[in-house]
Amino acid sequence: MYDINMIFEWDNAKNELNKANHDGISFEFAVRVFLDEKRIEKYDWKHSTDTEDRWNVIGRVEDVLFVVCTERDDRTRIISARKATREETNEYYDNYDLR
């Protein structure tokens, strides 16, 4: 999913709400998960629709983060970002050396 030329976007109001609800994690900070070569990207079957594919990304930026994004017009749109749960953190570190 990631390449060096990725362009990110988000709704600024949603970013402010995300920071308020998720320990100050901003979308500007969260996009750094895409620099993590060991990140996990999974299709979000539950929240994707016929018109929008959503992806869940678990990656490390200081802490392990869980980021939801979608692709729109050759841009990666950040939908939400938060610290990963214990289960998500365990998933990230399971088989870490095999990725």
Give residue 35's Cα distance to chain centre: 11
Question: pLDDT tens, 24-74?
Answer: 999 999 999 999 999 999 999 999 999 999 999 999 999 999 999 999 888
The pLDDT of 74-99, averaged and rounded, is 93
**Nearest CA among 76, 96, 97 for reference residue 3:** 76
Rounded average pLDDT over 8-34: 97
Type of residue found at 87: E
SS3 content of the chain, % helix, strand, coil (to 5): 30, 35, 35
pLDDT value of position 5? 79
- In this prediction, residue 95 has a pLDDT band, given cuts at 50, 70 and 90, of confident
CA distance 26 to 38: 21
Question: pTM, whole model, 2 decimals?
Answer: 0.91
